[in-house]
Structures are given as C-alpha cells and as structure tokens.
Amino acid sequence: MEDDAFVSGYKQNLRVLTLNCWGIPFISKQVKERFEHIAKELSTGKYDVVALQEVWNKSDYAVMCDKLSSTLPYSLYFYSGVIGSGMCVFSRYRITNSFTYRFSLNGYLYKLWHGDWLAGTSAGYCVIDHPIKPIHFFVSHLHAEYNRQDDEYLAHRVTQAYQFAQLIELITKPSDCVIVCGDMNSEPTDLCYRILCNLPGLTDTWLECNKEGYHGNTYGVSHNSFAGSTFQQAIQKGPSDGIRIDYIFYRGDRSNMELLDCHVTMSRIPWEEISYSDHEGVLATFCLKNDKVLEKGQEKVQQIESKCPTETNQDKFRETLKEVSSMMSVKLSTTPYHRHATALITVLLMFIILPIFLPEGDLLSYSMGTCLGVGLYIARILCSMLVTALVFYVFLNDRDEYHAYKDVYEAVNIRLVSL
C-alpha cells in the first residue's frame, strides 16, 4: 500500500475517509460487532487519514486505537461537553497540533433525549505532518435535524456552520492544504452547505468528481440494513434513495493539491447481513505535490491562486452572508417573545401551584404517614423542579441563545459592509 501511495519524489497520494459510526450508547444497534468490523476495515492500510463521528464510548475509541496502532498509529479524540464530541481522527502521519472549538449553540439542555447539548457539538482541528506538505484537517458533526418540516434547530445549525466557516478562514491561508470532513446534517440545497462552501472557499469533493448516474447519498439509502424504512423499487439507487449529508471538502492550490477521486464506501460488511453504520462512508483520494523541488531539472513554478475571489464567487459570498443575516434577524426578533411568554407562564404556574406549598394546617391534615401526604410531598418536589427549569430557561438559556444569534448577526453585517 505504501508503494501504491508513493508516486514519485515530489508527489504522493492521500486517501481520506469520513464515517459516522453510529455508536450511541443504549440506542445504536450491534455497536460492538460493527466497531470490530470498522476497525478491521480501517486496519487494511487502504486509508491515510480517517475522521470518525459518533464514537461516544471511550472504550470503543480505545479498541480502535489498539487495532489501528500499526496502520494508523497517530490518533486524536476531541473532548467536549459532558459525554464528549464523539469525533476522532486516525492518521498514518504524525499529528503536530490540535484544537477543539465548542460551538456557542448546541441544542437545549432540557431536551436531554436529543443529546446534542450533552455532546457539546464542536469543530475539531489538527495539523497533520504529511511528508509533502502539512495538512490542515478539520472535522465536525453539526446539530442533528430531527424534523425537516419543522426544524427547531435550523438556526442553531446555521450558527454552528458560520462559526465553523469562520474558524477555517481565520486559521488557514489560501495556499494551505485544507481538508474538512464530517456529518453536517445538511443537504446540498441547505444554507449550512452554502455557508461551508462559499465563505471559506471550500470545494465539495463529490461534486468535483461529478460521477454521472451516482448521487452520493450517505444516509437512509435502501441497501443500508439500518435504514429503517421500506423503500419503493422505483427510487432505489435514484436521487431520492437517501440523502447526502456526509462530506469531504477541500481547498488548496492546484500546484500542490489535486483531487483524483471521491466515492461512497463502507456500506454493507462483507459476508455479513448488517452495514458498518446507519451512514455510508465517503472516501476521497488526493494527490499532494511538493512545489519546492525540481522536476526533471526545472524548478516547478508555484501558481498561487489569487486571494481575491472572482466576481461569481464574490456574489455567492455576499448572498450567503445575506441569508445568514436574514435568519439571525428573525431569531433576534422572535427569541425575546418566547422568553417573555415563558416568563408569563412561569408566573402563572407559580400562582397555580402555590397552595400545595402552604403549611399542612392550611390544607387538609396530610401527614407523611398517609398516601395523600406522600403524594403532596412528591408534588412539591416535581413542581419545584418544573419552576426551577422554567426560570433557568428564561434567565439563562434564552439569554445565552439570544446573544449567540446577536454575535453572528453583528459579525455577518460587519463583513457585508466591508464588501
């Protein structure tokens, strides 16, 4: 595999894989079995850099590290939130630097069953010391979309996408080799996708390859054993057979970074009845070139692309910023209304439940020795918890959400004025 990867003295192929492993404790199916097969596949030597998402259990990560120690010896887990981000990177080459950026909005604490707040949704960044040129490698897993028709987390995801795009812009230079992977929980028609492509100037590897007859869908496809739906024969392998939400983006000067191929991979486990995950993997192959060496006696001239965007890209850049600004403006106008409505409900609820907190003599003589007394005691506890949660939402969570929207709104408008 090393011989195949090494092309010549000044260029070398790089294979990058991204996969959402679906390792949610107590919810995901056949986790141990699937992770064993994932580790087995990754240890074949086919891959140079691997970005995984939803590796929630640290013991699963430890097993991966052990099994990949010979082929992908360098690893990094991005710790964030209460239970960890679930994101990790395995690399054939040494990792020399890293950083975890936790997004300012990560869903709601009181919706524990969604889990995004507990995970502390983040962007992970590391520098990979490739022998040709350092690689600025990013991975993220944006907030899940639980209901596309009524997406209460859309503004959270847009905020995350904008902060992720800003992070990429601020850390890297136009001449750097930049690779961005992950489950973005956004389709190519969504605003989050446009933010990631248009603001930091990233290229979607799948679209770049433009394979006719293939659609690149990575979630909910009919041949996946965990799709959980009955698909009509008419849509199988068609554009409506699943959705495309897992991506590998890149940015680099053509003189030192070229995309060779991109395809969907790691679907069904060979000789097994199950898939590796409920997502498909995405594999991209790049050719990295050293622009500082001599080729056939002549100096290879580096042709750095202009830092100034073309007129078309400038228009896309401006329109994307306007879309973000418009959404943030709407959220800034509606969030205070929700806060005031919740505060009113809290006050009314306090008046309604106040009688159960009066001394027992003012009510019936309920003692802890009776069923009614125990019920009253439990009711007091539950009502106290409810009022505390509502107060937390009104005075802490809601203000935090408002300020996150305000921060993005101000940042976007500063950029719009400067264009």
- Among 271, 289, 307, the domain-final residue is 289
Among 253, 289, 275, which residue's Cα sits nearest to residue 133? 289
For residue 313, pLDDT over 50 is answered with yes
Number of domains, the chain: 2
Over 60: is that where the pLDDT of 57 sits? yes
Where on the phi/psi map is residue 92: left (φ > 0), alpha (ψ -120 to 50), or beta? alpha
Among the residue ranges 18-32, 140-154, 157-171, 209-223, the one predicted with the least confidence is 209-223
DSSP string, 306-325: PSSPPHHHHHHHHHHHHHHH
Residues 345 and 250 in one domain: no
- For residue 414, CA distances in Å to 108, 255, 407, 419 come to 29, 33, 11, 9
Let me know if 130 is a catalytic residue: no
Phi, psi of 182 (to 5 degrees): 140, 175
Are 181 and 263 members of one domain?
Answer: yes
* Residue 298 resides in a domain: no
CA angle centred on 227, ends 153 and 18, rounded to 5°: 70
For 161-170, b where at least 16 C-beta lie within 10 A, e where not — what string? bbbbbbbbee
User: Among residues 234, 265, 289, which one ends one of the domains?
Assistant: 289
Cα 335–chain centre separation: 25
Q: What is the pLDDT of residues 242-260, one digit of tens each?
A: 999 999 999 998 888 999 9
Contact criterion met (CB below 8 Å) for 241 and 217? yes
Q: Which of 130, 136, 143, 279 is catalytic?
A: 279
Q: Residue 209 belongs to a domain with what CATH number?
A: 3.60.10.10
- CA 164 to centroid of chain Cα atoms: 9
| Rounded Cα gap, residues 259 and 286, in angstroms | 4
pLDDT per position as a tens digit, 115-132: 787 888 999 999 999 999
Say if residue 365's pLDDT is above 60. Answer: no
What's the confidence (pLDDT) of residue 376? Answer: 67
Residues 283 and 347 in one domain: no
In a domain, 328, yes or no: no
CA distance 235 to 238: 5
More confident residue, 154 or 346: 154
Whether pLDDT at 69 is above 80: yes
**Over 50: is that where the pLDDT of 73 sits?**
yes
Host domain of residue 413 = 336-418
Residue 322 falls within a domain, yes or no? no
Residue with the two structure tokens 């005075």: 395
Q: What is the pLDDT of residue 294?
A: 41
Q: How far apart are the first and last CA of the chain?
A: 48
- In the predicted model, what is the mean pLDDT of residues 352-373? 57
User: Within this chain, do residues 165 and 60 fall inside the same structural domain, yes or no?
Assistant: yes
- Regarding whether 127 and 33 lie in a shared domain, the answer is yes
Considering the domain architecture, whether residues 160 and 222 belong to the same structural domain is answered as: yes
Residues 36 and 99 in one domain: yes
d(CA 139, CA 173) in angstroms, rounded, equals 18
Examine the domain organization and report whether 76 and 198 are in the same domain: yes
As given in the structure block, the two tokens for residue 70 are 């010979």
**Considering the domain boundaries, does residue 244 fall inside one?**
yes
Regarding whether 344 and 223 lie in a shared domain, the answer is no
Strand 49-53 and strand 88-91: the pairing is antiparallel
Question: E strands within 21-134?
Answer: 49-53, 74-77, 88-91, 95-102, 122-128
C-beta of residue 1 within 8 angstroms of C-beta of residue 269: no
User: What average pLDDT score do residues 183-195 get?
Assistant: 97
Residue 329 lies in a domain: no
Read off the pLDDT of residues 203-247 as tens digits, 9 standing for 90 and up.
Answer: 999 999 876 667 899 999 988 999 865 444 445 555 678 999 999
